[in-house]
Amino acid sequence: MAEVIAARNLPFSLEAEKAVLAAMLHDGAALLAGLEVLRELDEMAKRESASRRGAKGKDSQPTVTLFHHSPHQILFDLISDLENRGRAPDFTTLIEEARAGGVLDRVGGASGILEIVSAAATGAGVRDYAEIVKEKYLKRRLIFSSQDVLERAYQDQADAETILDQAERELHAISDSRQSGSFVRIGDMLASVEENLLEAYRKKGMVTGVPTNFTELDKMTSGLQKTDLIILAARPSVGKTSLALNIVENIATKSKLPVGIFSLEMSAVQVIQRLICSMAKVDLKRLRTGHLSRRESAQVFQTLASLYPLPVYIDDTAGQTIAAVRAKALRLKHKEPNLALIVVDYLQLMEAGHARGGQRNRQEEVSAISRGLKGLARELGVPVLALSQLSRGVESREDQLPRLSDLRESGAIEQDADVVLFIHRKRPRKDSEEAEEDIAAEIIIGKQRNGPVGSVPVAFISRYASFNNLASFDAPEEIRSPEDVEEYLGPDVEDGVPF
């Protein structure tokens, strides 16, 4: 495969490489402009080359440098290093640095440096020259990445899914390297800010993000905002998944917007059963065992029919890495441009992937996962709702109210999250005749980067695995308590019969 590539000309432009180096030596402003475009890309190329050389001990792995012509790459490194140390790169300093580093012969001696310094390039064109160098580098990198994919496929040692995953990661890495951040003048951003303010003014306090349809929660958060990482945390069996699926149900049925679910704990079948139970208002246990009344059976079949057109996508692969989740989410976003929400159930079941340079502990892994999910929300422009476990510390307190410090395994979760939601349910006493589904619950907003904190009362109906507004959207205004909600929804009064 390498022979095939060698037999064909790789994309490069010696003229552009020479011109950008000459322009950077023209004046200080051009130097900084050229480094702004190329330095980050050059560092990325060096990391990629080092990784490829070290892969499986193969020293002959082909590598791609930013500058195709080796003397040009060396000169760029010298210029960049001089600027880092606060020294102005020119003919004299370049010769001195090249001689000190033992690379003077490799750049063609003093005459080779003089040829670059004397080139007729102006500082005004430095960005254009740099973009040409960048374009050619990306094309060469694509060629070598494609070569790797072909070689792995021909070797027939790894399964197709693994090869595809590696190919996607490499292509996404190349795609990411096209974009480099820079300062933006405030005046250039005012148009988008003005548009957001006008939209808020037109809605007059209505939801500006994706509505959860939990009325009081939407009032406090204005909905789930784009690019936000929302953490939904609680102890086991309190209702994290139920609340997340209620939000998914509301977005898909009421807003008619697509939602993606990464279910690392439950299978897709179990997730769908939960949705049916909540939407059809039937007992979860009886749904699973098939002992449903005729009325409940009719409700289930009616709900099944309504589920078909819903734009809800479920991936139930266990133990996924943040890289795999990112790749799949990007594909889903490409398929569904109006993607409204990504749900991850739950964060502690994810894996960070292999760490460069050795092993890392669980706290470092969770920190990497948390940062990755925040980055994914920003990259997609979609809110990411990640479920998280709480530590046992919450159960040792008398009020059992969750706090930010109860988030398990890493303080990075609290730091990276834009919004942290807790679920708190008052447990009935063992000697109480009060049914658990009659206990009001509350969603506690423990952190909100751009809004208030506080609590939102909701009703939790255990047998339906469902949270509801205390005053249901469709219920009369006087309905305020969980008991009223269940009465309004219609309790199951028929005896269960085989489905």
Catalytic residues: 265
CB 150 within 8 A of CB 59: no
Quote the DSSP letter at residue 401.
Answer: -
In this structure, the number of other CB atoms found within 10 A of the CB of residue 286 comes to 17
CB 76 within 8 A of CB 42: yes
**Range list of H helices, 322-466:** 322-335, 362-380, 393-396, 412-416
* Residues sharing a CB contact under 8 Å with residue 64, sequence separation 6 or more, in sequence order: 45, 48, 49, 137, 140, 141, 144
CB 302 within 8 A of CB 292: no
CB 441 within 8 A of CB 239: yes
Of 482, 490, 487, 472, nearest in space to 437 by CA: 482
Return the structure tokens found at 396: 């040792």
CB 18 within 8 A of CB 67: no
Q: Give me the residue label for tokens 């469709």.
A: 474
What is the Cα 220 distance to its own chain's centre? Answer: 24
CA–CA dist 450, 470 (Å, integer): 26
**Range list of H helices, 215-337:** 215-221, 240-250, 268-280, 284-289, 294-307, 322-335
CA–CA dist 94, 89 (Å, integer): 6
Return the structure tokens found at 357: 């340079």
CA–CA dist 87, 93 (Å, integer): 8
CB 220 within 8 A of CB 445: yes
CB 29 within 8 A of CB 126: no
CA–CA dist 132, 137 (Å, integer): 9
Of 373, 363, 349, nearest in space to 236 by CA: 349
